[in-house]
């Protein structure tokens, strides 16, 4: 390892630790679970880079230690996906199904066990001759699993972007690390194929360079989030202006959200075109400013859009019930709570991606305006 690579690794390890520390200081993260996952990922990257910077020294002690440290690489993509899931899912908690995220690292560790009790001289000979086929198979399996987790990450970010979840990072925030990790894993897979005798690359790739590039991509992602804490803090956007005095933690917001949803479901106040935020505050016995804060910052919408969503669903239920077949389109929309044709059409198109007429045509329903 050249000195400049060693120093680069040390600097990267220090930065990773500082990023993790900075994230731990966020007082009101959007998701404490997501924050913890990202901190764990950054600390793993930090540890790997610190170990890699001392690879020459560790190889003199036992090359098995260096080889074992590569297991950390196999946690990058699974933890990256877990961070995304924890960030976007409001009721996130670790479940037994998440044990599958340990699969890539477990596959590698099982292959590594063969070499754990092998004499160093024999291990060095195997590494020189490139006859570590079990490790290559483990690598290939883990790379394919990494692609799966990257696809899941991008799909989740895309789904929430399409849902206009504007209080969460858009999928653009995940673009560079996702593409970068995908390219690194693709190069990794081609390197494995080359080691197996398939000349798919015109140049030789060094595994350590690929591993380090993945590490720096994770650091880049952490750097982005530290710089843009407004994207990662539940209070970052909505604390300005009239919300400056609001003091609600995540649990308070969930309690108020539950009151809002219960009131809307039980009383259907949205069917009144003149229903106001003040009336909702009365129904929920909640301070109006706290109510507005919860809707805007915690639920990621606004009062008007929230009512429009319920009114559109009410309109669809009225159509499907068949009880309003003698009404025209606007008449049913008025029954659902819309006060004008233009407001109704805009809300319906925004939520359903098509006009009411197009939607009804798919149901073989004909109504006049």
In this predicted model, what pLDDT tens digit does every residue of 28-68 receive, in sequence order?
555 678 888 888 888 888 888 888 888 777 777 777 877 78
| Per-residue confidence (pLDDT) for residue 262, from 0 to 100 | 93
Whole-number Cα distances in Å, 254 to 33, 95, 135, 294, 298: 15, 21, 47, 8, 8
Question: Is the confidence at residue 227, as pLDDT, over 60?
Answer: no
Tokens read off for 203: 């140049």
Task: Convert the pLDDT of each residue in 98-123 to its tens digit.
Answer: 898 998 889 888 888 888 888 878 88
CA dihedral sign, ordered 87, 91, 95, 97: negative
Task: State the average pLDDT for the chain.
Answer: 78
| CATH class, range 308-369 | mainly alpha
Which of 157-161, 265-269, 272-276 is predicted least confidently?
157-161
| CA 274 from centroid of its chain's CA atoms | 38
| Per-residue confidence (pLDDT) for residue 205, from 0 to 100 | 52
Does CATH place domain 3-232 in 1.20.1070?
yes
Tokens read off for 111: 């292959």
Q: Is 340 left (phi over 0), alpha (psi -120 to 50) or beta?
A: beta
Q: Would you list the domain boundaries of the chain? A: 3-232, 238-300, 308-369
Polymer length in residues for the chain? 369
Tell me the H-state helices in 200-302. Answer: 207-227, 229-232, 250-267, 277-284, 288-293
Contact between 102 and 142 (Cβ < 8 Å): no
User: Cα(238)–Cα(231) distance, rounded to whole angstroms?
Assistant: 11
Tokens read off for 16: 């990773």
| CA 96 from centroid of its chain's CA atoms | 19
Closest-CA residue to 313 (of 283, 268, 275, 260): 268
314 versus 191: the higher-pLDDT residue is 314
| Per-residue confidence (pLDDT) for residue 307, from 0 to 100 | 92
Q: What is the DSSP letter of 85?
A: H
């Amino acid at each position: 390892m050249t000195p400049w690579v060693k120093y680069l690794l040390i600097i990267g390890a220090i930065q990773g630790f500082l990023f993790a520390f900075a994230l731990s200081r966020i007082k009101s993260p959007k998701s404490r679970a997501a924050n913890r996952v990202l901190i764990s990922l950054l600390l793993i990257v930090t540890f790997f880079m610190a170990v890699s910077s001392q690879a020459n020294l560790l190889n003199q002690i036992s090359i098995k230690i260096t080889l074992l440290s590569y297991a950390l690489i196999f946690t990058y993509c699974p933890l990256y996906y877990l961070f995304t899931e924890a960030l976007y899912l409001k009721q996130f908690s670790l479940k037994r199904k998440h044990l599958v995220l340990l699969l890539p690292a477990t596959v590698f560790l099982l292959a590594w066990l063969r070499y754990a009790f092998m004499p160093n001289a024999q291990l060095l000979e195997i590494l020189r001759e490139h006859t570590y086929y079990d490790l290559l198979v483990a690598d290939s399996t883990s790379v394919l699993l990494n692609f799966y987790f990257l696809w899941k990450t991008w799909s989740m970010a895309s789904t929430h972007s399409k849902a206009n979840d504007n209080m969460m990072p858009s999928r653009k925030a995940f673009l560079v690390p996702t593409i970068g990790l995908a390219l690194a894993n693709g190069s990794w897979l081609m390197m494995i194929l080359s080691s197996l005798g398939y000349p798919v690359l015109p140049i030789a790739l060094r595994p350590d360079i690929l591993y380090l590039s993945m590490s720096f991509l994770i650091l880049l992602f952490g750097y982005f989030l530290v710089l843009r804490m407004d994207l990662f803090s539940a209070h970052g956007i909505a604390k300005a202006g009239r919300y400056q005095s609001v003091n609600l933690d995540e649990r308070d917001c969930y309690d108020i959200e539950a009151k809002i949803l219960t009131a809307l479901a039980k009383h259907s106040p949205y069917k009144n075109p003149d229903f106001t935020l003040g009336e909702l505050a009365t129904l929920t016995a909640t301070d109006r400013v706290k109510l507005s804060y919860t809707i805007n910052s915690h639920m990621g919408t606004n009062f008007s859009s929230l009512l429009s969503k319920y009114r559109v669903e009410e309109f669809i239920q009225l159509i499907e019930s068949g009880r309003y077949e003698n009404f025209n389109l606007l008449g049913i929309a008025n029954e659902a709570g819309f006060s004008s044709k233009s407001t109704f059409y805009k809300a319906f198109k925004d939520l359903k991606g098509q006009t009411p007429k197009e939607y009804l045509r798919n149901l073989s329903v004909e109504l006049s305006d």
